[in-house]
Structure 1
Amino acid sequence: MKHLLFKTALLSGAAVLAAAPRSQAQNSDRKWGVSGYATTLQYRGDLGSSFWNAHNLTYGGGLTLSRYVTKGIDINLSANQSTLRYPGESGTFTNTGVSATSGRRFYANISTFGLGFKFKLNNGWALKEDAVIQPYILLQPGYAYIYTTRYANNSNANSNASNYGSFDGQAALGLTFRITPGFSMFAQAGQHFLDRDDDRLDGVSNSGTIFWDKYDRYMQFSAGLTANFGKAKDTDGDGVPDRKDKCPDTPAGVKVDEVGCPLDTDGDGVADYLDKCPDVKGLAALQGCPDSDGDGVADADDKCPNTPAGVKVDASGCPLDADGDGVADYLDKCPNTPAGVKVDANGCPLDRDGDGVPDYEDRCPDRAGPASNKGCPEIKAETKKILQEATKYINFDFNKATLKPTSYSKLEQMVQIMNEYPDYSLSIAGHTDSKGADDYNLRLSYERAASARAYMLSKGIPADRIEARGYGETKPIADNAKAAGQALNRRVDFDPYLTGETNAAEVKYGAAPTISEVKAEGKKLPGKKTTGTGAPRSRKAPVKKAPAKRK
């Protein structure tokens, strides 16, 4: 007779087992497990014993729902349906040391329900929790519902069938074999002890006083599969339970490895999601990118990837060039060159004429000269003397700006000097004595300087190299009260100066506009044109007084 209650439990458990997800083995993450298994029972009691006897075995099966409590303990809720007979179908009666009434036999259907406590040895002390082989001890009190049919060969035996319930206690040893993260197999062997005051299993009461003789008991051998399910706590949602997660704060969406840490494909210590170069080993300081020359700039951004070690670089990875001359500081022998200055391979300003004055400071970059003269050749002493004494030899017609022919040879000599010193300009300054009107004298001084300039221009000297100014009677070099002094004051000075420098006459006598500047401003020279033979009257003379003496 089959028990309806057990059938219902068996079918329900099978459905749960079929639906159980293929997840991690039962542990603190997946705390629920469902097991299905096959069993066979072996009797020992008042009639005798078939322990460890595989002759004519009967079979059954069961389901277990288990719950993880700690690393060392699970609790189980089990239901098992099996048959038990003694002796076997062949009629052979075996007795292994326990007295029995000859010829007695029985057949029983046994349904057991138990609440078990599994003590696991893979608790981290002897074995790891996820070890392949996991031994355990099971202690399971419960209830047995028994339908038994007994066949009697003597008058003392019950020959009818009976149904009854009894206390059932099981002690077992087992091994779990971890197959996959979601499934395992187990094999278990244990003994069931029935209530000693209820001796109806084999239909024979025994008055023995020894513990083993007072109880009808049987061995149960079981083997089956377990599937585990449940939801593990996973704070960061990376698919790795907190219990195993060595990186429990991984940002959402980041791929992780088996221990819950972000993937690091290239193994450089920088997680892929932070690594700008995830397939090449790099440096954490450069977001996982390599830096072949070790200058602190990632290769991908380095415009100078082969910079020598120890050289300071800019943001682009190229050696610093503080003065911007195109020569890196570590090669630059002149690191403070002003901006825009052309330099040589060593970063030093060019010096084409090799005079020690760099071109950017050299007024004469193609002709050697001392630094004291801004890199230009110095005018020889004898040449300077010629220029200084030239004023003695430049003469004009009386009261006019017309050069006398005697002046030509000296002017030719000055043309030659200007050609010999192309880096110089010439200042020509005209002067008069104090006789006559101021405006007249000023105009006369301008025109005489201009006449000397015009002559030199006619000989090919560029106009921008000669300036002519007039100072009139304002810059005497001698006493105008005496004739000798007046003669010295009537002069035209010739002063050379480096082109680009301040006009030499302006340095000596102060500011006075050049004739070119006067014309550029649209002005006329002061006084009347000095082309006549007469001279303007003195400012103090009467209106009809005779003209002044020769200028």
Structure 2
Amino acid sequence: MLILAYGQSKKYKAVQRSLQDGAVAASSVPDTLKKARHVNKKKSAVPTPKVFGGLKQFRTWSVGFNAGVLSTSVVTGGENDFRKVAPDAGYGISVRKQFGHIFGLQFDILSGHMSGSVPRQYDEAISSYRTELGYSATTSIVANLGTVSYMQRKQSMSFFVLGGEGFLGFAPTVYYKDGTSFSTKYLNGAFKNKVYIHEFTTFVGAGVKFRINDRFAVNTGYTENFIDDDFLDGIHNMSANGRDYQKDKFSYGYASLEFSIGKSSKPNIDWVNPVSLIYNELEDHSIRDEFEILKMRLTGIEHAIIELKGDSDEDGVPDYFDKCPNTPKGVIVDGAGCPVKVDSTLIKRDSVIREILIKNSTATDTGMPCNKTIIFNYNNAEIMPAYFKTLDAIAAELKANNNKNVVLSGYSSSEGTSDHNMRLSLQRALAVKAYLVKAGVNEKQLAVKAMGETKAVASNASEEGRMLNRRVQIY
């Protein structure tokens, strides 16, 4: 055992050295590959983003400052309480977090004024109004729709849409023709101690973004806001049925300067072209270097596998596991590659079985199987696998000719008592019957006889003859 362990350890070390040689060869990357990697690093001060590198490789936060025009009219149409709308100034701030190349979440604060004159219907004494928008605080989802610069590594212009909801606080002031005015800021009663009227709002919008550099961008956009109230302009205007109020709305057209927050070593996700990321990875020299290293390692592993599969003496046992190398050809060996001492009795038995199988394959009578012999081992009634094919052919013939019957006669050799041999021969015949019935043969087509050690077909004086007598004859 110690000698065997030592021999195997030597072979293992040899194979291990082959694997290590493959790793050493792989680690010896050509100078050209090293230089290419070094040059590639020099060219890109900012790390190149990966397709599946995640959001951490980008700047995803941005802050914007906007200014524009507030108006109580919208481009999608609809009536206002005042016929003439005077655009007024608005301004605000936005904070956005991008969760990918397409979708982001934005928070906006907006303030300003809205004005109008000549009411459509109400009190003829009213001349105009001016509403102070104290605040509009909304949260929205922003979706980048596309770009006109897909063929460039960095986008320069993109389109976006957004939609969301929030709350606003406003204070309208109504001016009368006699020079007086009315403002909710100074009301007692229902509005006592309330500076603004607070209402829920929803909005949708769209815009275009222009890149200045990787840090700054200019946005232009337009939103339509729909308020859950009809007092934005200071008056309640009923609909045609005289019962329902027409809820107010306003729009905001703006331009903003947006600033990307984060480390300069990371690119702004807004301007990274997703298509170019795939191309960059294909062009990346470091990936090519890794591929070359893997190829070299694979070569070393292939050599080790070839050494493991080698069988110089062709005995079926690889040299790595062969305890007895240089075994002569034709010699039967065990799993360790050493010659096996075969019992001559087993050799004789196999020879007898082969002869019987040859006879079985040629014995026929009017299309039906006859004179087929099944040989059994000593003092045993189990059918050997070598005869399964023969019995399957018999079963097929009997099922195809269900008006034909056969006799299964069991026999034994002369060892043991006559009673024992009679029982053994019956067991052998019944074993063949059970196999055929299980294969689908009608039991009525099979007759069983137990013959014991009578009617021997060979001399019981030799082992080869006794083998021939341990049988079931089918006829």
Q: TM-score range by the shorter chain?
A: 0.3 to 0.5
Bigger-Rg structure (1/2): 1
User: Higher helix proportion, which one?
Assistant: 2
User: Higher strand proportion, which one?
Assistant: 2
TM-score, structure 1 normalization: 0.33
